C-alpha cells in the first residue's frame, strides 16, 4: 500500500510560486555583490595585519635572544658583586666590633645600646647552610649621616698607628701563611 504524494492543486502551486518570487525579490543581487566585495577587502586587510604581526613577532624573538644573553651576564655580574659586598660588610662588622671591644671610649655613652644595626646578615640567611656564626651588630653614631663610626681624635690616631703595623687588618688569602706570621708575633709579644 503505497501512498502517492499529495497532488497540489493549481491554486497552491500558484501561491508557492508567488511566495518564492517574493523571497527572491527581498535579496538584491547588487547588495550581495557589495557584501562580497566588503568581505574580500576585510580579508585583505586582515592578511596584511597578520603579515605585519608575524614579522614583528620574528623581530621580537630575535631581539629577545640578543638581550637575554646580555641580561644573563649582567645578572651573574650583579650576583657576584652582591657576594663581594656581603663579604666586605661582614669584615667591616667584625672590624667594628673589635674596635668597640678594644676602644670602648671611642663611642659616645649609650650610643651602642641605642643604635645597633638591626639589618639581617644576608650572608648567613642566603647561604642556607646555617653553619656560619651570626655577625655582631654594628654600632652607629646617631649624628653621623651614613652610619659611620665617629671616633675622638686621640683614639683615631692610636688606631691608625696600631693598625698600620699589624697585618691582621688585611686577611691573607692563604691562611697557612697568616698563621705562620701570627706565631712569631705572638712569641715576640710574650718575650717582652
Q: Which residues pair with 116 in a beta bridge?
A: 139
Give 16-25 pLDDT, tens digit per residue: 999 988 888 8
Cα separation, 113 vs 139, in Å, equals 8
Low-confidence ranges of the chain (pLDDT < 50): 113, 127-171, 173-174, 192
Give 144-173 pLDDT, tens digit per residue: 444 444 444 444 444 444 444 444 444 454
Cα separation, 70 vs 78, in Å, equals 12
Cα separation, 159 vs 168, in Å, equals 13
Please tell me the predicted confidence (pLDDT) of residue 96: 87
- The DSSP letter of residue 104 is G
| Residues 6+ positions from 103 with CB-CB distance below 8 Å | 151, 155, 158, 159
Please tell me the predicted confidence (pLDDT) of residue 117: 57
Q: What is the mean pLDDT of the chain?
A: 72
- Contact between 149 and 107 (Cβ < 8 Å): yes
Please tell me the predicted confidence (pLDDT) of residue 109: 59
Please tell me the predicted confidence (pLDDT) of residue 47: 97
Backbone φ and ψ for 60, nearest 5 degrees, come out as -65, -40
Please tell me the predicted confidence (pLDDT) of residue 163: 44
What are the C-alpha distances in Å from 100 to residues 39, 62, 114, 122, 148? Answer: 84, 57, 14, 22, 13
In the block, cell 652610619 appears at 147
CA dihedral sign, ordered 174, 175, 178, 179: negative
Task: Report the candidate in 167, 164, 162, 163 with the shortest Cα–Cα distance to residue 181.
Answer: 167
Cα separation, 89 vs 119, in Å, equals 11
**Euclidean distance between the first and the last CA atom of the chain, given in angstroms as a whole number:** 139
What are the C-alpha distances in Å from 56 to residues 4, 37, 48, 178? Answer: 68, 29, 12, 61
Regarding pTM above 0.75, the answer is no
Amino acid at each position: 500500500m503505497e501512498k502517492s504524494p499529495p497532488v497540489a492543486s493549481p491554486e497552491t502551486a500558484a501561491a508557492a510560486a508567488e511566495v518564492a518570487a517574493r523571497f527572491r525579490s527581498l535579496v538584491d543581487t547588487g547588495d550581495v555583490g557589495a557584501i562580497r566585495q566588503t568581505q574580500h577587502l576585510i580579508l585583505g586587510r586582515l592578511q596584511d595585519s597578520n603579515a605585519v604581526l608575524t614579522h614583528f613577532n620574528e623581530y621580537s624573538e630575535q631581539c629577545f635572544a640578543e638581550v637575554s644573553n646580555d641580561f644573563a651576564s649582567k645578572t651573574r655580574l650583579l650576583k657576584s658583586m652582591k657576594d663581594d659586598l656581603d663579604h666586605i660588610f661582614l669584615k667591616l662588622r667584625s672590624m667594628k666590633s673589635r674596635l668597640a671591644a678594644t676602644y670602648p671610649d671611642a663611642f659616645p655613652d649609650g650610643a651602642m645600646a641605642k643604635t645597633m644595626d638591626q639589618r639581617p646578615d644576608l650572608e648567613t640567611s642566603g647561604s642556607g647552610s646555617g653553619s656560619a656564626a651570626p655577625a655582631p651588630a654594628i654600632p652607629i653614631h646617631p649624628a653621623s649621616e651614613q652610619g659611620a663610626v665617629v671616633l675622638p681624635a686621640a683614639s683615631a690616631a692610636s688606631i691608625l698607628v696600631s693598625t698600620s703595623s699589624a697585618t691582621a687588618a688585611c686577611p691573607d688569602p692563604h691562611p697557612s701563611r697568616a698563621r705562620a706570621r701570627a706565631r712569631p708575633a705572638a712569641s715576640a709579644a710574650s718575650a717582652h
